[in-house]
Amino acid sequence: MTDKPLIIILGDQLSHELSSLAAAPNAPVLMAELHDEASYVRHHQQKITLIFSAMRHFSKALKEQGRAVSYLTYGSDPAVSSFTDAAKMIIKRDGINRLIVTEPAEWRLLQEMQSWPETLGIAVEILPDTRFLATHQEFADWADGKKQLRMEFFYREMRRKTGLLMDGDNPLGGQWNYDADNRKKLPKGHEPPPRLQFAPDGVTQDVMQLVAQHFGNHVGLLDKFAWPVTAAQAAAQFEHWLEFCLPQFGDYQDAMKTGEAFLYHGLVGAAINIGLLDPLKVCQAAEARYHSGQAPLNAVEGFIRQILGWREFMRGLYWLKMPAYADSNYFDHHRALPDFYYSGETDMACMREAIGATRDYAYAHHIQRLMVTGNFALLAGIAPHDVNRWYLEVYADAFEWVQLPNTHGMALFADGGIVGSKPYSASGAYINRMSDHCSGCTYKVKEPHGDTACPFNYLYWDFMIRHRDKLGSNPRMGMVYRNLDKMPDEKRRGVESSAKKFLEQLK
Ligand code: FAD
Ligand code: DLZ
């Protein structure tokens, strides 16, 4: 029988160095805009636009290189709404007898593709995704036998493996981690530099029309779409960031400012996750800026830690712990996600700001995701499934392998301590320290309870009271519970009754 292989490339596999492309240099490619992928959660309109436009650009680039590409635009074949439908159709149409894929990044799709030999009666070769810096086996070996998995120690292994920011066997500068130098508030009147943005080209404009027609009722606005949709655009945006933002990325990594969605952040998550930027090259480019004296170590290390450390660590945990991971609910939280996560209509200025950026740009930076929307969901006892779904819908960079450990583990502690050693919970004081939001807020950040008090204040203590059985013996929570024990009874009663009243009217 003649060998008739076909490569299937997914919407987050838009890299010319993809293992499937390298394995079969002459094989044709199938790419498909799929109803099931675009609607298994109600993705933000900008996210669908980004992925479809980047897919169209990538398929054009492949064709220009001489690849045969079958590209199914959205709805062009009514019988095709999933990867399985697409595979079935092309096997029949082109007499394909072998499928080649780079492993999908999400567990549900790996299950689907692993079933194809049985359900479609075809050989399927699933190749490792070599764009990640640690293999599944390396992560599993590192994790094996450890009581606790901590990012910091994995990150050190990754520094050693890649040689990034190393001085022989030691970390450059003598310290592995400069996190303590990443926590400055922005000075009053400080203006972050403007960002390089991309006006939608013809391809993107066509996709925007399609998205408005078919997904116009999904969250988000399209008019501010400015994401890079090709590798060249992503590289240009990253170069601009290296030049104008990296030097202050470290200092202001945790800061928040009203009206400034991006500050000094890289805006590279979406481009890396869909394959337009290579994570190792991005880290190497940042490291080069340190060696040439153009950026300080706390900035460069802070950035590299996010990609080499957190990004790889989250991916490793996801594959180690799925599928059970997604169903844990350590605090047994079941409250429905309030409507204002979609509408942005809330009097809490910090929440309004984070949700507004999310709606406008399919983006919010890490501290907004973790310490504002994530922190609120944790303290208010929102059901992890609801919160996970929201995060997967609303961010341009959201794919389950990275969204789930960040939301479920880091923000909600719903995994009971696999990602972090304690919940990232905070009262309004933290938000006030790191932002300018509280001065313009309806609520008073200095008031501990009562109708005008910042809800983060009483929800924080109410959360600690409700979950003492689960958190009280955690050594990292000792100070919190000592402070709770010193709290006068009257204040404690005020906190509990304000929290009860607030949560009862939360819809
Ligand atoms: P920068 O702040 O410039 O950081 C540079 C890069 O480091 C990011 O692009 C990303 O690739 C990596 N990075 C930073 N922090 C993390 C992290 N905690 N985990 C993994 N990679 C990290 N990141 C996603 O890529 N997809 C998600 O769906 C996602 N969901 C999140 C949900 C929650 C609740 C939280 C707290 C964090 C989430 N993150 C997610 C991590 C992080 O917030 C985003 O990667 C970052 O905000 C993207 O913006 P940026 O490119 O400007 O990042
Ligand atoms: C996220 C997404 C969307 C919205 N649409 C498509 C699509 O139509 N076709 C496709 O190949 N991929 C899409 N994706 C990305 C896939 O869902 C992605 O490959 C998985 O989430 C695995 O990470």
Q: Is residue 188 part of a domain?
A: yes
* 106 shares a domain with 146: no
8 within ligand 2 shell (Cβ under 6 A): no
184 band by pLDDT with thresholds 50, 70 and 90: confident
**Domains identified in the chain, total number:** 3
* 291 shares a domain with 267: yes
401 within ligand 1 shell (Cβ under 6 A): no
Bridge partners (DSSP) of residue 100 are: 7, 125
Task: Give the residue from 76, 94, 127 where a domain finishes.
Answer: 127
Distance between CA 349 and CA 64 in Å, rounded? 49
* 353 shares a domain with 294: no
Task: Give the residue from 127, 147, 180 where a domain finishes.
Answer: 127
* 366 shares a domain with 411: yes
251 within ligand 2 shell (Cβ under 6 A): no
Average pLDDT, the chain: 96
Closest ligand relative to 51 C-alpha: 2
Q: Is residue 165 part of a domain?
A: yes
Q: Is residue 228 part of a domain?
A: no
Amino acid present at 86: A
* 452 shares a domain with 347: yes
State the DSSP H helix or E strand holding residue 72, giving kind and residue range, or none if neither: strand 69-72
pLDDT in tens, 138-174: 999 999 999 999 999 999 999 999 999 999 999 999 9
Compute the average pLDDT of residues 192-218: 96
C-alpha 229: how far from its chain's center?
A: 18
32 within ligand 2 shell (Cβ under 6 A): yes
Tell how far the Cα of 10 is from the centroid of ligand 2, in angstroms. Answer: 6
pLDDT in tens, 347-373: 999 999 999 999 999 999 999 999 999
- Residue whose Cα lies nearest atom 42 of ligand 1: it is 366
Mutate to test the pocket of ligand 2, among 51, 82, 215 (most ligand atoms within 8 A of CB): 51
Give the domain CATH number at 352: 1.10.579.10
> What distances in angstroms separate CA 180 from CA 226, 253, 299, 374, one per listed residue?
33, 11, 11, 22
Give the domain CATH number at 290: 1.25.40.80
Q: Could you tell me the two tokens for 365?
A: 């930076």
Mutate to test the pocket of ligand 1, among 402, 404, 412 (most ligand atoms within 8 A of CB): 402
312 within ligand 1 shell (Cβ under 6 A): no
* 79 shares a domain with 47: yes
Tell how far the Cα of 12 is from the centroid of ligand 2, in angstroms. Answer: 6
Tell how far the Cα of 215 is from the centroid of ligand 2, in angstroms. Answer: 15
**Percent of the chain surpassing pLDDT 70:** 100
Give the domain CATH number at 101: 3.40.50.620
| pTM, to two decimals | 0.98
266 within ligand 1 shell (Cβ under 6 A): yes
pLDDT in tens, 1-33: 789 999 999 999 999 999 999 999 999 999 999
pLDDT in tens, 472-495: 999 999 999 999 999 999 999 999
* 156 shares a domain with 301: yes
pLDDT in tens, 257-285: 999 999 999 999 999 999 999 999 999 99
Mutate to test the pocket of ligand 1, among 237, 397, 412 (most ligand atoms within 8 A of CB): 397
Tell how far the Cα of 37 is from the centroid of ligand 2, in angstroms. Answer: 5
Q: Is residue 184 part of a domain?
A: yes
Task: Count CA atoms within 13 Å of residue 412 on its CB side.
Answer: 30
- Residue whose Cα lies nearest atom 52 of ligand 1: it is 267
399 within ligand 2 shell (Cβ under 6 A): yes
> What distances in angstroms separate CA 222 from CA 49, 219, 310, 397, 463, one per listed residue?
8, 10, 30, 16, 37
Compute the average pLDDT of residues 39-68: 98
Tell how far the Cα of 366 is from the centroid of ligand 1, in angstroms. Answer: 6
How would you label 210-240 residue by residue, b for 16+ Cβ within 10 Å and e otherwise? bbeebbeebbbebeebbbbbbbebbbebbeb
Ligand 1 atom nearest to CA at 264: 3
Closest ligand relative to 207 C-alpha: 2
Distance between CA 219 and CA 217 in Å, rounded? 7
* 163 shares a domain with 103: no
> Over 80: is that where the pLDDT of 248 sits?
yes
Q: Is residue 143 part of a domain?
A: yes
**Cis omega (within 30 of 0) on the bond before 78?**
no
Torsion of CA 115, 116, 117, 122, to 10 degrees: 180
Q: Could you tell me the two tokens for 301?
A: 């290390």
Mutate to test the pocket of ligand 2, among 29, 37, 58, 273 (most ligand atoms within 8 A of CB): 37
- pLDDT, residue 201, reads 97
Distance between CA 339 and CA 371 in Å, rounded? 19
> Is the distance from CB of 5 to CB of 100 less than 8 angstroms?
yes
* 295 shares a domain with 187: yes
* 183 shares a domain with 114: no
113 within ligand 2 shell (Cβ under 6 A): no
Q: Tokens 């008019």 identify what position? A: 223
Q: Is residue 151 part of a domain?
A: yes
Neighbouring residues of 486: CB distance < 8 A, sequence distance ≥ 6: none
> Is the distance from CB of 72 to CB of 248 less than 8 angstroms?
no
Q: Could you tell me the two tokens for 300?
A: 């460069």
Q: Is residue 385 part of a domain?
A: yes
Q: Is residue 93 part of a domain?
A: yes
Domain encompassing residue 460 = 340-505
Which of 450, 418, 431 has its CA nearest to residue 374?
431
- pLDDT, residue 139, reads 98
pLDDT in tens, 222-238: 999 999 999 999 999 99
> Is the distance from CB of 438 to CB of 347 less than 8 angstroms?
no
Bridge partners (DSSP) of residue 123 are: 98
* 154 shares a domain with 75: no
- pLDDT, residue 280, reads 98
Task: Give the residue from 127, 156, 177 where a domain finishes.
Answer: 127
- pLDDT, residue 179, reads 80
* 85 shares a domain with 36: yes
